[in-house]
Structure 1
Amino acid sequence: MSKSAVIYWSGTGNTEAMAQAVLDGLNGAGEDAALFSADSVRAADAAQYDKLALGCPAMGAEVLEESVFEPFFTELEPLLSGKKIALFGSYGWGDGQWMRDWQDRCAAAGAVLCGEGLTVNEAPDDIALAECTALGKALSLL
């Protein structure tokens, strides 16, 4: 059985709710999955997991959160080669450019992406949370 981690940053609770639903999908599929906020795990420790679900909302001009998540991800990025990765996050404006840029960074680092990143506008509703759970299940199948 592979080990999985869901690692996220959330300012309003929207991405945290998404992270919990992704975790539920992983655990429901039989994965040994753990949940961490980005400020509670080191990149080197995160890299020990077989599969990673990473969550961060769009901030500012559609970028990853800059004080906690971006430094964490920058440290993790060179360790992603061959890792199975799912990306998710919420946004309140823009067209999802932060997610496309993030996917490109993961692909350039050699990660195996679990489909396209899942984006939710504002707070996730029941449909969005079901999509998050499905993302966790899909990651378990990689």
Structure 2
Amino acid sequence: MFSRRVLAHRVSITMEAAFCVEAVQEALAKHGRPEIFNTDQGSQFTSLEFTDVLLDAKIAISMDGKGAWRDNVFVERLWRTVKYEEVYLRAYDSVSEARASIAKYLAFYNQGRPHSSLDGRTPDEAYFGTQAMVMAA
């Protein structure tokens, strides 16, 4: 089941592994351990610092092949949408302004933006509706 809901996000202005390590540790604490974690082959994701977090949690690591955007198509499509509907339309004066504006957009994306792939529902409607159905069963 895919709801297209963005569970969490962060904005970084560097390609450092520490940022990604913090983000994945937060995701694991909030959402639990997935069986498989998929990334591209960026240096921050191939670093020992990052891969050790996944291996220590006994999470299988899947890395996209070079130029294999289809391997992570949902995230690639999300970031295309964020860029065209938010980032490219703004001239941010600072990193903090970019972070705040992107956060506001992602709240809209989850709560107010209907998706044709979700039969006109928002990601929140699809995500929380599915959760409620599972809990009722």
- Compare relative contact order (CA 8 Å, sep 6+) and give the higher one, 1 or 2: 1
Larger radius of gyration: 2
TM-score, scaled to structure 2 = 0.31
TM-score, scaled to structure 1 = 0.30
